């Protein structure tokens, strides 16, 4: 499903409504809400919105377990760290306790960090499938999502939940959830706004299928719902909004 809003001021509250409503449903039905956060800059305002009085009272945040869709391989206090951004904008304002945050440990070697994160995810889900309730994703100008970048080995991973990947064009080591991990989720939401994203949105949603070049095309929940939350600027090149 594609939902288009005039601008971020309309888009972000709509997504905050969606996240908190599904969070309440998850807690009601399963006793907890397994929420995977996106990195980058787009979600920062959403996280801040979730901590305002209008939203913080809508969900029992003590029942929320926070995961990361991906992490840059930098120290946790580095300006590029997705954990650092979430800590400042979400965890500290909401008083989230440490054992509810599944932080990717970037103090280890990349492969070890990936294996450790996967181990903690699997332990969290015990013997049941690692089925996150909601995975929040962004979209890069090159149509990457999480750290699933074009023409990288992680795109073809079919069994592991987490992998480390070196992104040559960014000269950046990353840790990322894999496609099968994301596609097991109950809800996957893309949060994409701004005119610079319009070409990538067009290619992913209406272009030829070419997942090696457009990794976001790989995101198709097996038994879940995919919703694109776009503003008009990011949706500007779409022929049809379904
Ligand atoms: C990351 C993100 C990445 C991000 C896109 C969009 O760690 O960078 O997980 O997938 O969502 O690159 O980033 P912006 O929101 O900054 O445009």
Which atom of ligand 1 is least distant from the CA of 38? 9
Question: How much is the pLDDT for 121?
Answer: 98
Q: Ligand 1: distance of its center to the CA of 141 in Å?
A: 9
Termini Cα distance of the chain: 7
Beta strand segments in the chain, E:
2-5, 33-37, 64-68, 70-72, 134-137, 162-167, 172-177, 187-192, 225-231
CA-nearest residue, atom 10 of ligand 1: 146
**pLDDT, tens digit (0-9, with 9 covering 90-100), for 12-45:** 999 999 999 999 999 999 999 999 999 999 999 9
Give the integer Cα–Cα distance in Å for 4 and 233. 9
Question: Cβ contacts of residue 13 below 8 Å, gap of 6+?
Answer: 49
Residue 22 Cα to ligand 1 middle (Å)? 23
| Dihedral of the alpha carbons of 24, 148, 11, 233, in degrees to the nearest 10 | -170
Tens digits of residue pLDDT in 39-89:
999 999 999 999 999 999 999 999 999 999 999 999 999 999 999 999 999
The residue whose C-alpha atom lies closest to atom 2 belonging to ligand 1 is 39
pLDDT at 192 over 60: yes
> Is the predicted pLDDT of residue 168 greater than 90, yes or no?
yes
144 CA closest ligand 1 atom index: 10
**DSSP letter assigned to residue 52:** S
* pLDDT at residue 78 in the model: 97
| From 11, 36, 37, 38, mutation site for ligand 1 pocket: most ligand atoms within 8 A of C-beta | 38
Task: Please state, in angstroms and rounded to a whole number, the distance separating the CA atoms of residues 154 and 106.
Answer: 18
pTM: 0.98
Task: Look at ligand 1, atom 15, and give the residue with the nearest C-alpha.
Answer: 42
**Beta-sheet pairing, 172-177 with 70-72:** antiparallel
Q: Of 81, 70, 16, whose CA–CA distance to 8 is shortest? A: 16
23 CB near ligand 1 (under 6 Å) = no
Whether 69 lines ligand 1, by a CB cut-off of 6 Å, is: yes
Atom of ligand 1 nearest to the CA of 192: 15
Q: Could you give the CA distance from residue 206 to residue 24 in angstroms, rounded to a whole number?
A: 33
pLDDT at 240: 77
What one-character DSSP code corresponds to residue 90?
A: I
- The three-class DSSP label of residue 176 is strand
């Amino acid at each position: 499903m594609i939902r288009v809003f005039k601008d971020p001021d309309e888009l972000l509250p709509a997504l905050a409504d969606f996240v908190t409503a599904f969070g309440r449903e998850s807690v009601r039905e399963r006793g907890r809400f397994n929420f995977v956060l996106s990195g980058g800059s787009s979600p920062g305002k959403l996280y801040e919105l979730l901590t305002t009085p209008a939203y913080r009272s809508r969900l029992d945040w003590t029942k929320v377990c926070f995961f990361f869709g991906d992490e840059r391989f930098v120290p946790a206090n580095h300006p590029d760290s997705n954990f650092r951004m979430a800590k400042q904008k979400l965890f500290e304002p909401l008083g989230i306790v440490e054992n509810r945050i599944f932080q990717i440990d970037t103090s280890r070697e990349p492969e070890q960090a990936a294996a450790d994160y996967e181990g903690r995810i699997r332990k969290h889900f015990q013997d049941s499938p690692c089925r996150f309730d909601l995975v929040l994703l962004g979209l890069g100008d090159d149509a990457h999502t999480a750290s699933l970048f074009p023409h990288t080995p992680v795109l073809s991973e079919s069994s592991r939940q987490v992998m480390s990947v070196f992104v040559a064009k960014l000269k950046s080591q990353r840790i990322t959830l894999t496609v099968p991990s994301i596609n097991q989720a109950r809800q996957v939401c893309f949060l994409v706004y701004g005119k610079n994203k319009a070409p990538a949105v067009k290619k992913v949603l209406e272009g030829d299928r070419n997942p090696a070049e457009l990794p976001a095309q790989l995101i198709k929940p097996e038994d879940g719902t995919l919703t694109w939350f776009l503003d008009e600027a990011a949706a500007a090149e779409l022929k049809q909004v379904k």
